[in-house]
Structure 1
Amino acid sequence: MHASLLSAATIAVAALGVSAAPSTPRWYSAPDSTDASSSGSNGSPFPFADGFPTPSPQQLQQIEIDAHGTLSNATPPANISAQGLVNLRLIDFGERIEAVFFEELFFNVTTGVPGYELPSWVDYDYFVNFLNVTQHVEELHNLNAVNALAHFNQTAIQPCTRYNFPVSNLEEAVTLAMTFTSNVFGLLGEVVQIFAQNGDVGLVRGIVQAVANEGEQNGFFRYLLGRVPDELPFTTVSNRDFSFTALQGFVDPTSCPNIDLISADLKTFASVTFLDTPVAKTEDVRLSLSIDKYVNGTAYNVVYVNQLNNPVVVPATYVSSDATSVIIKATFPFDEHLMNGLTIASVTDQAGPFANVDAVATAAIWAPAFAVVN
């Protein structure tokens, strides 16, 4: 058995609504900065050295070589529904964020940034090759969505220029990658269902193939963290609104020129974070809510979405507050529901029951907070 990268069972990350040790957000800064994240003349990470997000044909060929495969040359369907376009825009937005994350992680590992040293049991060349392949895979995932939008004569989501991944070492970075990839499983499952419900069946296969690739990545993240590669028999479902809210935690939305094309169709929730990381036993956990939507005297409930199961509703109890936040507590009912893997928590003033994750998103006020148990 190898040692885990982590000294504790779970490091949860604030951008995904889970608790973390304080860290300084690392934004892409001005081009004269000593921060090697800086690439573009406006302080943006773009373009990458390989030309992404607008590579030349020659650069695209090299991206495909590095990704171990090509963009699909199959012709997309002739038409797409309005909801199908929402799917593609969200995928465009999210996959570019993933590409930036892995580009930064690759740099941090290969240039010896303090905190990003590999443990002795991890082969350096193997791990660097994995990061290189993964970065270019995510670039192709993004370009696939961009090409699909162009095929339907739609404007792509323009790159944001400021990104923030609130991690300061390899352990936190891999944990963040594991957590957001677990949510990607649920998001892309939702995307497939929406495509199918709206007659966009010609787009389903490509999404399913991308989910399979994300699963390959996440198994390795989990292995690095001392966890078995299999997270769950049926991974946790998610929702586009939850995912859009979480993704905005990795960017400065004001640096995203046409993010309004997405926000016109998807909600952004008030923020909630786990102050106590859920573990594999039933116990109370505290959550912090932004204060602006909190109404004194209202009965609030925490709703947990886990696996393919019906959402679990638990009453919340007020703990304390200050000028910006309210702390509540609620039971995390692990034992009763065997809540391994990703759990998505939200807070609502409705008692439920809720039929599915979409009903939860409709009722949620604060969302999402993520935790991965085991």
Structure 2
Amino acid sequence: MYLTCSTIILAISVAATRVAATPFKFPLPDGFPNPNPAQLAKIEKEAGGPLPDGPLPTVLKSTGVTTLQLLALNEIFEVAYFTEFLANVTNEVTGYDAKAIAPLSKQYVIDALTAVVNQEQLHAAGVNGILKSGNQSAIEPCEYQFPVTNFTQAVVLAQTFTDIVLGTLPEAQAAFAADAGDESPLIQLFGGVLAQEGEQVGFYRFVQKKTPSAAPYLTGGSPSFAFTAIQSFIVPGSCPQPLSNINLTTFGPLTVVTTPEAKNQTLEFVVPGAVSPAANSIVYLTGANVPLTVAISNVSTVAGMSHFTASFPFESGFANGLTIAALVKGAGQTYKTNDAVAAATLYGPGLIEVD
């Protein structure tokens, strides 16, 4: 199966809007995001373990605050996504019935998603607890809409955004290490979260009959790529706190029109603005490789949207799983780090899943 998150969103967003006209809203029946002690105990039981009981940081540096805000925003989004996914399977909504999930049993899928929902609730509560301990405001839920209408689409999208999380958490650990002080214990804590998310994505890949582990080294990212990706699921204007309070960049959308495959090919991209081969390039992040810059060509404009192509040299050493594409300022520039790519990005991330 060769699908991209961008392709999924482009192809079914209209259908999803019709089917899921009512946005997903909090709070949940179990009290999340503010469960009482009895509700929290039930969440912990269904999650398979409790919140960490060690001391929390009381002093957070600005980079650490931004990192934790991003992580909380993501964890709450994931609670919303998997709660809706679980409800669709439980209630056998069209496209999520027993036939759609075969050969898996309905109860197995319900048990798996129930664990994930409760685990993500604890991730979110844990991150917000750290923010509050450091005298920062907790991140509050927004409203969400998800561009999936059946079980297969839901699993593919779950794999894709979990892959983004797996690339973001090492960045978070690096930020906590650089800040040191009170934040140092967070390195190990989020190493555990990183491992837990890896277990999740193995399940999503297994359900698609993919090898559970995609590649020896997974694709890294940069916080602003994750921040931008999360916002594609948030109903505009629905967040109690302005997203501009989080000190990260929101990029313009980069849509991958062509369905990528595990071979060298040419991809078509679309952005809502002017581009030029003399002023822009595509950069790919794949595996643990140094970012790869390729030229763009065949630029045309239709109704204010710029269409262009770029090579996708998969056979030159790309990793299976997630590849991130970004349209950057400048032609032919080279970059040593993913963060340097993000600093030059105008449109992105283009999310490509190939394996």
TM range (shorter): over 0.9
Match status 1:194 vs 2:175: yes
Distance 1:10 1:295, change over 3 A: closer
Match status 1:20 vs 2:3: no
Q: CA deviation at 1:19?
A: 5.0
Q: Give the Cα–Cα distance (whole angstroms) in 1 for the partners of residues 326 and 308 of structure 2.
A: 12
AA partner of residue 282 (structure 1): N
Q: Give the Cα–Cα distance (whole angstroms) in 1 for the partners of residues 288 and 54 of structure 2.
A: 32
Distance 1:232 1:131, change over 3 A: same
Q: CA deviation at 1:296?
A: 5.2
Distance 1:19 1:313, change over 3 A: farther
SS in 2 for 1:72: coil
Q: CA deviation at 1:20?
A: 3.3
Q: Quote the residue 2:65 is aligned against.
A: 85
Q: Give the Cα–Cα distance (whole angstroms) in 2 for the partners of residues 275 and 259 of structure 1.
A: 31
Distance 1:28 1:335, change over 3 A: closer
Q: CA deviation at 1:203?
A: 1.1
Q: Quote the residue 1:313 is aligned against.
A: 293
- After superposition, residues 40-55 of structure 1 pair within 5 angstroms as 45-55=25-35
Q: CA deviation at 1:299?
A: 3.3
SS in 1 for 2:149: coil
Q: Quote the residue 1:352 is aligned against.
A: 333
Distance 1:69 1:26, change over 3 A: farther
Contact 1:84–1:194, Cα closer than 8 Å, also in 2:
yes
AA partner of residue 235 (structure 1): L
Distance 1:146 1:129, change over 3 A: same
Distance 1:221 1:296, change over 3 A: closer
- After superposition, residues 174-323 of structure 1 pair within 5 angstroms as 174-199=155-180, 200-260=183-243, 262-263=245-246, 265-291=247-273, 294-295=274-275, 298-323=278-303
Structure-2-length-normalised TM-score: 0.94
AA partner of residue 136 (structure 1): N
AA partner of residue 68 (structure 1): G
Q: Give the Cα–Cα distance (whole angstroms) in 1 for the partners of residues 342 and 272 of structure 2.
A: 17
Contact 2:271–2:347, Cα closer than 8 Å, also in 1:
yes
Contact 2:277–2:296, Cα closer than 8 Å, also in 1:
no
Contact 1:158–1:258, Cα closer than 8 Å, also in 2:
yes
Q: CA deviation at 1:63?
A: 0.4
- Gap regions ≥5 residues in structure 1: 1-8, 30-34
Superposition CA RMSD, Å: 2.0
Contact 1:13–1:20, Cα closer than 8 Å, also in 2:
no
Q: CA deviation at 1:26?
A: 4.3
Q: Give the Cα–Cα distance (whole angstroms) in 1 for the partners of residues 277 and 24 of structure 2.
A: 45
Q: Quote the residue 1:4 is aligned against.
A: none
Q: Quote the residue 2:310 is aligned against.
A: 330
Q: CA deviation at 1:27?
A: 9.1
Distance 1:262 1:214, change over 3 A: farther
Q: CA deviation at 1:153?
A: 1.3
1:162-206 alpha-carbon deviations (Å, 9 max, x no partner): 211111111110000000000100111111111111213121111
Distance 1:172 1:329, change over 3 A: same
Q: CA deviation at 1:112?
A: 1.3
Q: CA deviation at 1:15?
A: 8.6
Q: Quote the residue 1:6 is aligned against.
A: none
AA partner of residue 292 (structure 2): V
Contact 1:13–1:167, Cα closer than 8 Å, also in 2:
no
Q: CA deviation at 1:308?
A: 0.9
Q: CA deviation at 1:44?
A: 5.6
Contact 1:311–1:357, Cα closer than 8 Å, also in 2:
yes
In the alignment of these two chains, the number of paired residues is 350
Q: Give the Cα–Cα distance (whole angstroms) in 2 for the partners of residues 166 and 283 of structure 1.
A: 27
Q: CA deviation at 1:120?
A: 2.8
Q: Quote the residue 1:96 is aligned against.
A: 76
Distance 1:289 1:221, change over 3 A: same
1:5-24 alpha-carbon deviations (Å, 9 max, x no partner): xxxx12333398x7534543
Q: Give the Cα–Cα distance (whole angstroms) in 2 for the partners of residues 50 and 27 of structure 1.
A: 28
Q: Give the Cα–Cα distance (whole angstroms) in 2 for the partners of residues 213 and 297 of structure 1.
A: 42
Comparing 295-304 and 191-200, the one that deviates more: 295-304
Contact 1:280–1:339, Cα closer than 8 Å, also in 2:
no
Q: CA deviation at 1:159?
A: 1.3
Q: CA deviation at 1:341?
A: 1.6
SS in 2 for 1:365: strand
Structure-1-length-normalised TM-score: 0.89
Q: Percent identical across equivalent pairs?
A: 33
More helix by percentage: 2
Distance 1:159 1:119, change over 3 A: closer
SS in 2 for 1:332: strand
- Gap regions ≥5 residues in structure 2: none
